[in-house]
Amino acid sequence: MNKEYLKDFPTLSKEKNGKRIAYLDSAATTQKPIAVIEAIKDYYEKINANPHRGAYELSVLATEAYDEAREKVRKFINAEGFEEIIFTKNATEAFNLVAMSYGMNFINEGDEIVISIAEHHSNLIPWQQVARAKGAILKYMYTNENGELTEEEIKSKITDKTKIVSVTQVSNALGTINPVKEIAEYAHSKGAIVIVDGAQSVPHMKVDVRDINADFLIIAGHKLLAPMGIGVLYGKKNLLEKMPPLMFGGDMVEYVYEQETTFNVLPYKFEAGTQNVEAAVGLSKAIDYLNEIGMENIEKHEKELVSYALDKMNKLEYVKVYGPKEVEKRGGVISFQIEGVHPHDVASIFDTFGVCIRAGNHCAQPLMRYMGINATSRASIYLYNDKEDVDRLVEAIEKTYEMFSKWR
């Protein structure tokens, strides 16, 4: 797969020390294919008008492009209606929208909000604020030694008092694939709504919101080959209809009087002001690109590379890999530590070899604290990676350990 698609990503032709870079940080952001870059360029050269605000041709074309992007997202995740797709500026804003609009209005004192210890801060801090403001109880589901949520742990934390369960489908810090469909089924049996963080799952596997029965699903466009500056909130229509707007201004209104305002219909009541139309156009083209390849093919490719990487890394006695031992329970994220080397040093040294990884707490400080560590190094794989990238990762690990061994 890599050889066929690598040419589509201009950034990946960049060289260091006479070799193309090995970009292994797609969990942070994905590279953009030429098709997406050209779509944005084409929009600015041929349209560049404000949607929903003009009767002239350019504005009509902008409206069509923006609405087409929404429809592409709807089909991509199998949502029922276009009104269930809300564009935001990123996944973080989408979490805050649900927390502030739904949480602040429908959570009461003594209610329980349940999340996992492995959540990104964007799916943690907003719920802290809701719990504090409403007198609710924020509870955590804790992972086992392999970074997995067990059925026993899930059922012990979700109770009749639980009103919200918000959980990642794939951990950005460990790569764990959580059983969100089963979590949703159990949470619904207790009367709770379920929010799924799809930032690390939707770009890498087929996600059907009706199959997993998520009440809300959140997507980060830039992790999906699309530009930065656009996110998606999917929500069931009956829930979105009763939620008040979070932002106020142009385009989210129906009528404005001196002392009161009536709001627009879905999805527009949540999209105040001028939107990031060019990013929506880029997202639309990114979905086309992914559909052409096939999400099943992307997932299969990633599993093969992760398996290849784990086989090699687990043979190095000075390397500790975190997360599930079974490849089928993992996404494309591999977090690890090299004995005696701080993860930040690892990332800096890897850069000299042209290997791009992430180091730090991965916006998951409570998880790191729970695991008894400060940080990990993280390699993350996507459709444009191949075995050569993995070989270079392992070679960089070996050279880094050897380098630090001389100083001990």
CB atoms within 10 A of CB 108: 9
Residue 378: beta bridge partners?
335, 358
Res 393: pLDDT = 99
Please write the tens of the pLDDT for every residue from 283-312.
999 999 999 999 999 999 999 999 999 999
What is the domain partition of the chain in residue ranges? 2-24+294-405, 37-291
Q: Catalytic residue at 363?
A: yes
Burial 172-184 (b: 16+ CB within 10 A, else e): bbbbbbbbbbebb
Q: What is the pLDDT along the chain (408 residues), one digit of tens a residue?
A: 667 899 999 999 999 999 999 999 999 999 999 999 999 999 999 999 999 888 999 999 999 999 999 999 999 999 999 999 999 999 999 999 999 999 999 999 999 999 999 999 999 999 999 999 999 999 999 999 999 999 999 999 999 999 999 999 999 999 999 999 999 999 999 999 999 999 999 999 999 999 999 999 999 999 999 999 999 999 999 999 999 999 999 999 999 999 999 999 999 999 999 999 999 999 999 999 999 999 999 999 999 999 999 999 999 999 999 999 999 999 999 999 999 999 999 999 999 999 999 999 999 999 999 999 999 999 999 999 999 999 999 999 999 999 998 776
Burial class (CB in 10 A: 0-12, 13-18, 19+), 270: buried
The C-alpha angle with vertex 153 and arms to 363 and 91, in degrees rounded to 5, equals 30
User: Token pair 């709770």 is at which residue?
Assistant: 192
Check 49, 60, 363, 373 and give the catalytic one: 363
Res 408: pLDDT = 65
Res 54: pLDDT = 87
Res 86: pLDDT = 99
Res 53: pLDDT = 83
* Interatomic CA distance for residues 22 and 3, integer angstroms: 13
pTM of the model: 0.97
Indicate the length of the chain as a whole number: 408
**Contact by Cβ (8 Å): 306, 381:** yes
**Contact by Cβ (8 Å): 362, 320:** no
The C-alpha angle with vertex 400 and arms to 397 and 404, in degrees rounded to 5, equals 140
Burial 21-42 (b: 16+ CB within 10 A, else e): bbbbbbbbbbbbbeebbebbee
Could you please state the CATH topology (level 3) that the domain comprising 37-291 is classified under: Aspartate Aminotransferase; domain 2 (3.40.640)
From the candidate CATH numbers 1.20.1260.60, 3.90.1150.10, 3.20.20.70, 3.40.640.10, the one assigned to the domain spanning 2-24+294-405: 3.90.1150.10
Burial class (CB in 10 A: 0-12, 13-18, 19+), 239: middle
How many whole angstroms from its chain centre is CA 370? 22
How many whole angstroms from its chain centre is CA 286? 15
Query: Distances in Å between the alpha carbon of 299 and those of 149, 302, 392?
Result: 21, 5, 22
Element (H, E) at 132: helix 125-134
Closest by CA to 72, choosing from 290, 295, 382, 384, is 290
